[in-house]
Chains A and B, each alone.
Chain A
Amino acid sequence: MTDVYVIGIGMTQFGKHPDRTAAGLGAEAVRGAIHDAEIDPRAIRTAYAGHVFQPMVTGQQVLGQVGLAGIPLANVENACSSGATAIRGSFLDILAGEADVSLAFGTEHLTGAFKGAFTPGEDDPEAAVGATMPAVYAMRARRYMEEFDLTREQLARISVKNKRNAALNPLAHFKKDITIDDVLMAKPIAEPFGLLDCSPVSDGAAAVLLASGDWVQRHGDPSRAIRLAASALRTGKVETAPGSMTFEELTRDTADDAYERAGIGPADIDFAEVHDCFTIAEVLRIEGLGLWEQGTYPAAVERGEADIGGRLPVNPSGGLLGKGHPLAATGVAQVVELVKQLRGEAGSRQIEGASVGIAHCRGGKTVGVEGAACTVQILTR
């Protein structure tokens, strides 16, 4: 089977861009990836565009702005996993031999589309009685506190860690260190969460160019190409009985698919970018991925094991809590960070000796299902 490589990455500043559009942000990220790869853009054969709350055919608008209209493009919506699902489209095109170079990007102008607490769709029966996304995760946090003696301070430390990493990332939404007290004193959103336990509403875009191993050997720069060893996608199962809200079966199943495809296990992973939409989410993702045993991650964060320089750094980019969360851009931005780290181009947040990274996204909510869409990608140097 052919190998798939990331040959180019691009990303805009994440944050608030009141004067921009999703298409404009997307075009900036795509041009960045093309320049990073140093390729003739006419080599790109197919494209996938992730976006959630944007106008229809936003992907075609982006291609038009970069002069690439004409090639096959599909717009992809999988909630917060949209961008990662777009990467999977490019990955499969290359495996299938349909393309030797493929473009995947995610773009979101979220501040123009959304304000306040994020809620599931209006027809959701749980939204009809008052569910918001922070509330759903807050209930998971409350249950985890009960089962595993998680403390409020331990939760807060996750936000402190990720915002500290974000302060080292010039493209991150947040640029300031915060303290545990800042998290505890922030205005309440859904107990135990305050505002700093929640990822912000951000605008931004990110793009990657994938190529076959054969193309890299003939036309590319093998020293900068990073192998995409797996790009797994799953849909949450309908629960036939009430399930645990403190362990993510969907994350575990998706990770198992990725580990099997890559021939890599959790013990081989050097660092992770995971979907920390809320502080508790980082705990649930990491334990679902099998990187720490259930119930043990919060104490490991307290000991500094997930810091840059720790045993297994988690969210060195700043994660969603620090870097920001422009929904569909998030999954692509995670892969951008993995590539920077694996190339040794991550600057002051560089993880020494990193050779295997994992990225995880989860998106959406449908009643009676543990989670809607989940993606896990593994990259190796």
Chain B
Amino acid sequence: MTTQTPVSFRPHDLVVADDGTGYLRGSRCPSCGAHYFPTREVCAGCLTEDLETIPLPTRGTLYTYTVVHRSTPAFEVPYVLGYVDLPGPVRVLGQIDAEPDQVTIGMDVQLEIVPWGTDAEGTPLLGYRFAPGGHA
């Protein structure tokens, strides 16, 4: 029996290397510099169509957050959820890997790759969260 290589829960949005590191994939407009997550085909600012696909920075600051107590069956509650502003600038939603009383607006956070359940065939998946720490 071979060991299964974990795969990204959303391969288009989250790229995971064999060593377990990873990054979110976004778009950058070469004309006006706007950044997007997830990737887009057309820049909403200037309607340019040849957007570049880029790795987004992995460190940012927390814009706002909540502690979710009621969710869909896919998620175990409670969990902290927040919007993170990454350099670009671009805003990304993710769970925050911290106790609720340790979370504050404006705190520095960094991307981390975490187990994210399995797919229908039982293959382990990797997802992302943001953990306190790092400097944007």
Contact = CB atoms under 8 A, between A and B. Distances in A.
Contacts of A140: 64
Contact of B66 (A127, A139, A146, A367): A139
A189 B81 contact: no
A182 interface: no
Contacts of A239: 44, 91
Contacts of B83: 139, 242, 245
Interface in A46-74: none
B65 interface: yes
B127 interface: yes
Interface stretch (A19-27, A76-84, A130-138, A249-257): A130-138
B22 interface: no
Q: DSSP majority for the A interface?
A: loop
Contacts of B71: 117, 119, 130, 132, 135
Nearest to A141: B66
A190 B70 CA distance: 7
Given A119-B72, A125-B10, A146-B105, A130 B64 contact: no
B20 interface: no
B93 A242 contact: no
Contacts of B10: 125, 128
Contact of A129 (B40, B66, B67, B94): B94
A143 B63 contact: yes
B82 to A, nearest CB: 7
Contacts of B68: 130, 132, 134-135, 138, 190
B32 A126 contact: no
Nearest to A140: B64
B89 interface: yes
A367 to B, nearest CB: 7
A220 B40 CA distance: 52
Given A125-B38, A240-B44, A245 B64 contact: yes
B45 to A, nearest CB: 4
Contact of B65 (A134, A139, A193, A238): A139
B95 interface: yes
Contacts of B81: 129-131, 135, 139, 190
B63 A242 contact: yes
Contact of B64 (A119, A143, A188, A368): A143
Nearest to B100: A191
Contacts of A128: 9-10
A343 interface: no
A191 B71 CA distance: 13
A239 B40 CA distance: 12
Interface string B75-110: 100010111010011110111000010000100000
B66 A142 contact: yes
Given A125-B10, A143-B63, A238 B44 contact: yes
B112 interface: no
Interface residues on B, range: 35 or more
Given A189-B70, A241-B34, A142 B9 contact: no
Contacts of A189: 69-70
A116 interface: yes
Contacts of A142: 64-66, 105
A331 B50 CA distance: 40
Nearest to B93: A126
B95 A130 contact: yes
A237 to B, nearest CB: 7
A240 B32 contact: yes
A365 to B, nearest CB: 11
B65 A242 contact: no
Contacts of B63: 143, 242, 245
A191 B66 contact: yes
A28 to B, nearest CB: 32
A138 B36 CA distance: 23
Nearest to A132: B71
B43 interface: yes
B64 A116 contact: no
Contacts of B36: 238, 368
Contacts of A191: 66-67, 69, 100
Nearest to B43: A240
A135 B68 CA distance: 6
Contacts of A130: 68, 71, 75, 79, 81, 95
9 contacts: A130-B71, A138-B66, A139-B83, A187-B69, A189-B69, A190-B70, A191-B66, A240-B45, A245-B83
Given A143-B64, A240-B45, 11 more contacts: A129-B95, A130-B71, A130-B95, A140-B64, A190-B67, A190-B69, A190-B70, A240-B34, A241-B90, A242-B63, A368-B36
Interface of A: 116-117, 119, 125-132, 134-135, 138-140, 142-143, 146, 187-193, 237-242, 245, 367-368
